[in-house]
């Protein structure tokens, strides 16, 4: 994390001295304003007051050892806006005090005007051509824990197809291994569903079971069920990153999913059922074991 260039261990003594200087500058400016407003002497007093204010601010900022410490404090003072929408923020992402102040000013304006919802969320509605997750389709949603990762899983059956949406924050699957983790979760959910529907096919998911000749009939059964699955990703909005909803095409290898295509279908609207699911707080009581 970036260090605060103004940080100093003796910041409190420096702040006390700066406060005394600021109070003296305020008194001088007030006296000259009353006696000779806008005179050269008064203008000089205003300049000294501005310098004292800057010195006081620098002394006050010296208490934060890192930029992240300052960002954490700064954004902790921000209230949610009229739309009740708040964005997660990563204090460690800031590299300067000025960047924190600029971001805070924007966030404060958005909170005051209630524009975050409009700027970062997708509109709610049923995307053209998508029948899954529509009102009345009986979408079932719950948070699940896979290892150390929490994902909102939404399931919907439309006709003879099984639609599963995985919702998580941007980077929530780990930035370097998101493909592997998404495939692993999709594979686990597919296997669980198939075993509920066809428990006799369990040998296919044993080590090497999907390539053994004695499992031929079970392999056909598993492959037929796997063809019925459709997966989607719902990226929850973060600081500076818009909400996103897309279909994820993958290839079934016989025992798991491979080769995800994240650009298979990117939607401009988010079904109401998924908006409601993504807004639910994660609860440990709803988390499944690894």
- Per-residue pLDDT tens digits of the chain, which is 290 residues long: 789 999 998 999 999 999 999 999 999 999 988 888 888 999 999 999 999 999 999 999 999 999 999 998 988 887 665 555 555 567 888 899 999 999 888 777 777 766 666 677 888 999 999 999 999 999 999 999 998 888 999 999 999 999 999 999 887 786 668 889 999 999 999 999 999 999 998 998 988 878 777 878 988 999 999 999 999 999 987 756 788 999 999 999 988 999 888 877 899 999 999 999 988 876 444 333 33
Query: Whole-angstrom Cα distance, residue 202 to residue 191?
Result: 9
| Domain hosting residue 238, numbered range | 123-286
Query: Whole-angstrom Cα distance, residue 30 to residue 35?
Result: 9
Domain termination site, one of 118, 147, 175: 118
Whether 111 and 151 map to the same domain: the answer is no
Structural domain contains residue 63: yes
Whether 185 and 226 map to the same domain: the answer is yes
Question: Which residue from 268, 280, 279, 10 is spatially nearest to 122, judged by alpha carbons?
Answer: 268
Yes or no: say if 33 and 42 are a contact pair by the CB < 8 Å rule. yes
| pTM over cut 0.75 | no
Structural domain contains residue 282: yes
Structural domain contains residue 3: no
Domain termination site, one of 118, 145, 165: 118
Query: Whole-angstrom Cα distance, residue 85 to residue 92?
Result: 22
Mutual angle of helices 40-61 and 11-36, in 10-degree steps: 160
Query: Whole-angstrom Cα distance, residue 104 to residue 112?
Result: 12
Structural domain contains residue 5: no
Whether 63 and 183 map to the same domain: the answer is no
Domain termination site, one of 118, 134, 159: 118
Contacts of 36 (CB under 8 A, 6+ apart): 42
E strand or H helix at 28: helix 11-36
Structural domain contains residue 2: no
Query: Whole-angstrom Cα distance, residue 32 to residue 49?
Result: 12
Whether 90 and 185 map to the same domain: the answer is no
Give first-to-last CA distance, the chain, whole Å: 32
Whether 130 and 177 map to the same domain: the answer is yes
Whether 163 and 219 map to the same domain: the answer is yes
State the chain's maximal CA–CA distance in angstroms. 103
Whether 244 and 190 map to the same domain: the answer is yes
Residue corresponding to tokens 């719902």: 234
Yes or no: say if 290 and 145 are a contact pair by the CB < 8 Å rule. yes
Q: How many C-beta neighbours within 10 Å does residue 217 have?
A: 11
Query: What is the count of structural domains for the chain?
Result: 2
Query: Whole-angstrom Cα distance, residue 273 to residue 126?
Result: 10
């Amino acid at each position: 994390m970036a260090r605060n260039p103004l940080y100093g261990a003796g910041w409190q003594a420096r702040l006390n001295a700066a406060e005394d200087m600021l109070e003296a500058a305020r008194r001088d400016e007030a006296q000259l304003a009353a006696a000779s407003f806008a005179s050269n002497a008064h203008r000089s007093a205003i300049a000294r007051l501005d310098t004292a204010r800057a010195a006081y601010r620098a002394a006050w900022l010296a208490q934060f050892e890192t930029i992240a410490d300052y960002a954490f404090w700064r954004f902790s003072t921000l209230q949610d806006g009229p739309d009740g929408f708040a964005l997660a923020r990563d204090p460690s992402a800031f590299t300067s005090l000025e960047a924190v102040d600029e971001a805070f000013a924007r966030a404060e304006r958005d909170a005051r005007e209630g524009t975050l919802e409009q700027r970062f969320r997708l509109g709610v509605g049923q995307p053209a051509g998508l029948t899954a997750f529509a009102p009345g389709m009986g979408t079932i949603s719950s948070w699940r824990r896979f290892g150390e990762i929490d994902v909102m899983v939404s399931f919907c059956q439309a006709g003879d197809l099984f639609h599963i949406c995985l919702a998580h924050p941007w980077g929530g699957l780990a930035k370097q291994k998101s493909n592997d983790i998404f495939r692993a979760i999709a594979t686990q959910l597919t296997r669980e569903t198939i075993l509920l529907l066809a428990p006799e096919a369990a040998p296919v998911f044993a080590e090497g079971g999907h390539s053994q000749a004695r499992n031929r009939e079970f392999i056909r059964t598993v492959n037929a069920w796997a063809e019925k699955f459709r997966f989607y990703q719902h990226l929850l909005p973060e600081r500076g990153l818009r909400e996103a909803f897309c279909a994820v095409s993958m290839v079934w290898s016989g025992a798991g999913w491979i080769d995800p295509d994240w650009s298979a279908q990117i939607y401009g609207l988010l079904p109401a059922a998924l908006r409601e699911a993504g807004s639910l707080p994660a609860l440990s009581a709803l988390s499944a074991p690894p």
